Structure 1
């Protein structure tokens, strides 16, 4: 897996928000199904065939969004949220493997960050970006592919 630092410009998203404990993560596939079903309700889509999933982890819980990119945030559908993700530098990598191997991909990215002196910005949203329609239809023994963006607060200077 290639890991590198990239900068993403600010962009806007509209979608479904979920907050729960780590033991409830099995509910996430339902969010993908709902968002894919309701995608036509979102006004001003960019046309990108992706689901952008910003998330924020805390000690005991996680907030996870399943969203679609939009050109502007107007008339957000009922039960959805819209917001802007600001310009940010990220450590970028891709997962291409079995669902149970996702944790290993994150571990590799965190080790890379440590090795190269990058510090995660825990106040910013991390991102997972999936091809539209590809996330929810996978069985446990089928591979999944998606991109991971971990926000970087700063580069630690060498002495």
Structure 2
């Protein structure tokens, strides 16, 4: 179900675990972004019917890992169980993690990052760096909309 407001920039702390199946790409950073991420998401969206046990085929999860030289970016669906992984895809679990979450849109993702990091600093949170965690972008797909609701989740401690 899609949240009602686009780009509210409201922040909160949530705890969540994810079971995901999807595809990934590793490219130079920042030179290849956002083009590589957009292409990966479009390519994966053409294959979503191959993924079984999905919670929703209209919600795209994009965890990533980046060291400012290269980035690995994922396009995934959340599933009930990680089984029957289609060829060329990967299944993995992000364990229960505390996240700073902000609501934005696919058009305001950069502003969303600025706002969530400012909110984290203001509230005394620090980013948890890849210790059994990963930042996640979530996109609520609406093929008929010019702007789609998105969320950014940053692992925190």
TM-score (norm 2): 0.84
Work out whether 1:104 is the aligned partner of 2:108: no
More helix by share: 1
Maintained 8 Å contact 1:20/1:61: yes
CA RMSD after TM alignment = 1.8
Please list the CA deviations of residues 89-119 of structure 1 after superposition, one character each: whole Å capped at 9, or x if unmatched.
000101137x3x4222211111111111000
Cα distance between partner residues in 2 of 1:117 and 1:47 = 34
Structure 2 unmatched runs, 5+: 1-8
Q: Which residue does 1:30 correspond to in 2?
A: 39
State the structure with more CA Rg. Answer: 1
Structure 1 unmatched runs, 5+: 155-159
SS at match of 2:47: helix
TM-score (norm 1): 0.83
Q: Structure 1 residue 48: deviation in Å?
A: 5.6
Q: Structure 1 residue 59: deviation in Å?
A: 2.3
